[in-house]
Structure 1
Amino acid sequence: MILHHLGYVVRDLSEAARRWYELAGVGPFLALEHIHFDTLTVDGRPASFDHSAAFAAHGDLFIEIQEIHSAAPAAAGKFFRAGSLPTLQHLAYVVEDPASVAARFEGHDIPPAMTASTAGLNITQYDLAPSLGFAVEIHPRTDEFTALFEKVRAAADGWDRSSFLQPFS
């Protein structure tokens, strides 16, 4: 498993992007508004989750900030901890063999808490908050995943510091 990004839930993407720049020099954040998932489950049941997210490069890692607009059922909202913000929600890893990672977690009685897919991206989160304080998010390495973060890296490399939050294009 390779640590890829840190995922935070924030109240406001623009404000969070500005603070990341002011305090850590991170930017620009590329934003995706009201992300749609083709499939989404929480605790094995269908769920809905409306959120916007923005990504920025930070050294060898990436930072994700998420603004939650709505989540249903209530368990989904609790999983994304929308009540106590800002918060580190997950550490994300890129893996070559997601089945072996799943077997490791399930061998410790930790089933997937959330699964989602859209546009060639597949996400599985394991809720390790009771023991570690955050979720672990697993991404299989796909061409779509790699291309998304190559755009984020390119934006950082050519950033003129004029805008902390930009639309993802």
Structure 2
Amino acid sequence: MSRFFGKVCQNGYVVRDIEAALKHWTEVLGIGPFFYIDRVQCDWFTYRGKPSPVEMSIALANTGDLQIELIQQRNDAPSMYLDFLNAGHEGLQHMSYWTTNYQADYDRALAAGHKVGHEGQIGGEQGRFVYFDTETHPGTVIEMSDISGAKGRFFAHIRRAAENWDGTDPIRPVK
């Protein structure tokens, strides 16, 4: 439990080959089902305060209360994902904390000295997310994500799907 952000709700893994990662997570580790979005549509995305046309694929599944996110960036637009890969890393890149009081928690984090690395929005204002520049060693970036709207309901659906997953239909495309 973070004294500042609360409990970790998601571990995010940046990978070079999401299909290979999905195979590993579902077949070797037995975690799933993964909900796969081939190309995430961001309303907007900025890297270090400047617009960036990031293209990425993501897959989401739960293991208990912890959500697993796999991310493959599909272009060379500036992002913290690309920074991570260019530093020679692959794997755990961030820990995500979820909030239903996004703006207040965002403002509190900035007031405490946290710096925004990249941020964006998916599916409207209640789909905001921010990655703070907290990586002093690989895997320690902090993401904060607004779950007060449709994203929160989608995450709850993913959690429920994992509860009694029997291994069938391991990758479920989201359109």
Q: Which runs of 5+ in 2 are unaligned?
A: 1-5
8 A Cα contact 1:30 1:168, kept in partner: yes
Q: Which runs of 5+ in 1 are unaligned?
A: none
8 A Cα contact 2:95 2:139, kept in partner: no
2:133 aligned residue: 127
Matched, 1:160 2:163: no
Q: By how many angstroms is 1:100 displaced? A: 4.1
Work out the percentage of aligned pairs sharing the same amino acid: 26
1:113 aligned residue: 117
Larger mean CA deviation between 94-103 and 2-11 belongs to: 94-103
* Aligned partner letter, 1:97: N
Note the alpha carbon deviations across 1:32-66, whole angstroms, 9 max, x for none.
Answer: 01111111111111111111000001111110001
TM-score, normalized by length of structure 2?
Answer: 0.82
Decide which of 3, 7, 12 is 1:2's aligned counterpart: 7
8 A Cα contact 2:62 2:158, kept in partner: yes
* Aligned partner letter, 1:117: Q
Q: By how many angstroms is 1:16 displaced? A: 1.0
Larger mean CA deviation between 155-164 and 29-38 belongs to: 155-164
Matches of 2:81 and 2:145, distance apart in 1: 21
Q: By how many angstroms is 1:5 displaced? A: 0.6
Matches of 1:133 and 1:157, distance apart in 2: 26
2:144 aligned residue: 138
**Count of aligned pairs between the two proteins:** 167
Matched, 1:39 2:21: no
Matches of 1:96 and 1:164, distance apart in 2: 29
TM-score, normalized by length of structure 1?
Answer: 0.85
Note the alpha carbon deviations across 1:98-154, whole angstroms, 9 max, x for none.
Answer: 344334433443321111012131111102112674211111231212221122123
* Aligned partner letter, 2:36: A
Larger mean CA deviation between 22-31 and 33-42 belongs to: 22-31
* Aligned partner letter, 1:7: G
8 A Cα contact 2:97 2:145, kept in partner: yes
> Which aligned runs of 4 or more in structure 1 are off by greater than 6 angstroms?
none
Q: By how many angstroms is 1:82 displaced? A: 2.4
Q: Secondary structure at the match of 2:105?
A: helix
Q: Over aligned residues, Cα RMSD in angstroms? A: 2.3
Q: By how many angstroms is 1:20 displaced? A: 1.7
1:58 aligned residue: 63
Please identify which structure carries the higher strand content: 1
Decide which of 142, 151, 159 is 2:157's aligned counterpart: 151
* Aligned partner letter, 2:154: L
Larger mean CA deviation between 143-152 and 52-61 belongs to: 143-152
Matches of 1:151 and 1:98, distance apart in 2: 21
Larger mean CA deviation between 90-99 and 128-137 belongs to: 128-137
Q: Secondary structure at the match of 1:49?
A: coil
Matches of 2:109 and 2:160, distance apart in 1: 34
